[in-house]
Amino acid sequence: MSRAEVTELIVTRRLEKKLSWAAIAEAVGQSKEWTTAALLGQMTLTEEQALAAARLLDLPADAVAQLQVVPYKGSLPTTVPTDPLIYRFYELINVYGTTFKALINEEFGDGIMSAIDFKMDLTREADPKGDRVQIVMSGKFLPYKTY
């Protein structure tokens, strides 16, 4: 069973069982954001985490093994995304990417924000004009070194 097939099976089983990502995350013992990324193929689970997901989703042993393999991260297609929600993030980076870079460099110096030493929190923010999506991202600053 390939990692892509495991991801497809996870998505199918989650829908069949009417489970939220938050409920699966609770069983796995991690945040809903990290667990969702992991089960969609972008993170490595420990054996304990993989077994917890497998019990909840009735996954076979070969899926448990695949969940513990280091994935090829950032494996989405490199073409412009067509899914409207994912495209908005692409658009957001196109519009605000240089602003993020300028402000991070001004505050921290020449470097990057880590996506490895990273956490994210996604919540709903009530608003009388329509609920809003609030995403807080926190990544360790990694300065470029001279040598």
Report the distance separating Cα 2 and Cα 142, nearest Å.
34
Report the distance separating Cα 36 and Cα 5, nearest Å.
16
Calculate the dihedral angle through the C-alpha atoms of 42, 83, 59, 16, rounding to the nearest 10 degrees.
150
Report the distance separating Cα 53 and Cα 67, nearest Å.
9
Phi, psi of 141, rounded to the nearest 5 degrees: -80, 130
- CB count within 10 Å of CB 54 equals 18
Which residues belong to the active site?
88, 91, 114
Beta bridge partner(s), residue 125: 132
Task: Work out the end-to-end distance of the chain between its first and last CA atoms, rounded to an integer number of angstroms.
Answer: 45
